[in-house]
Amino acid sequence: MKLLIDIADNKVASFMDMLKTHDYKAKAISAPDAELFEEIKEIKKAFKNVALIKSGKLKGRPAEDFLNEL
């Protein structure tokens, strides 16, 4: 299993030390990589919502209404 955990900068060193003492493999990722993961998560959610709308389990709204909000 892989986990993505958001930790305050001043707590990273102690958290990484704790993980190493329990024989877990851990590595830090860059901020751009973390942002990419968040974007991918949002895209995945959007695809799930499209499937729910097509199956009738979720109600969609007209694109014109959405564009008017912008």
pLDDT tens for 33-70 read: 989 989 999 999 999 999 998 998 988 888 888 888 88
Distance (Å, whole) CA 65 – CA 22: 53
Task: Please give the backbone phi and psi of residue 5, each rounded to the nearest 5 degrees, phi first.
Answer: -120, 130
Task: Determine, yes or no, domain membership for 4.
Answer: no
Is the predicted pLDDT of residue 1 greater than 80, yes or no? no
Task: Determine, yes or no, domain membership for 53.
Answer: yes
Task: Determine, yes or no, domain membership for 11.
Answer: no
Q: Where in the sequence is the domain holding 63, given as residue range(s)?
A: 28-70
Task: Determine, yes or no, domain membership for 34.
Answer: yes
Q: pTM value?
A: 0.55
Total domains in the chain come to 1
According to the model, what pLDDT value does residue 55 have?
Answer: 92
Task: Determine, yes or no, domain membership for 48.
Answer: yes
According to the model, what pLDDT value does residue 43 have?
Answer: 94
